[in-house]
Amino acid sequence: MPELPSNIHSFLSHPDLLVELLPVAVELFGKDLDSSGIENNSLHAKDIYEFRDAALTVIRSNGGIASEKIMRLLYRVDVLQRKTEAVMSDSDPETALAEQMVIRELQKAWTRKLFR
């Protein structure tokens, strides 16, 4: 099994892994939305960029990166605080945060695959 990529773009060099993990990651994100009290409008994504765009829409439609709802979601998704703080200095912090959420959901899907 290949090593898990550490950023959203490096997943593209592992298309078989991405095809396998993406549906699980999207499902996990939907559950995290539900448990964070954020409306989940039957989330779906055909590729990693569509998943990132869906996460970005969630961020923007729920008050932005500093809102209480998004902070709850970050806790549920389990994005590390240091990663959250690091993206705040990015030129587009909302997109960078959405990418961190996607990466974390893919990591969680990977872990499930390894231990099931």
- List pLDDT tens digits, range 21-65: 999 999 999 999 999 999 887 788 999 999 999 999 999 999 999
The pLDDT, as a whole number, for residue 76 is 96
Whether the predicted pLDDT of 14 surpasses 80: no
> Tens digits of per-residue pLDDT, 70-85?
999 999 999 999 988 8
The pLDDT confidence band at residue 5, using thresholds 50, 70 and 90, is low
Distance from C-alpha of 2 to C-alpha of 93, rounded to nearest angstrom: 29
SS3 25: helix
The pLDDT, as a whole number, for residue 21 is 92
- Expressed in angstroms, the distance from the first to the final Cα of the chain is 14
* The token pair that represents 116 in the structure block: 């099931």
Distance from C-alpha of 86 to C-alpha of 71, rounded to nearest angstrom: 15
* The token pair that represents 46 in the structure block: 């055909």
CB-based contact 20:114 (threshold 8 Å) = no
Distance from C-alpha of 107 to C-alpha of 86, rounded to nearest angstrom: 19
* Longest pairwise C-alpha distance within the chain: 39
The pLDDT confidence band at residue 113, using thresholds 50, 70 and 90, is confident
The pLDDT, as a whole number, for residue 2 is 54
Question: Average pLDDT, whole number, for the chain?
Answer: 89
Whether the predicted pLDDT of 12 surpasses 80: no
Distance from C-alpha of 102 to C-alpha of 28, rounded to nearest angstrom: 10
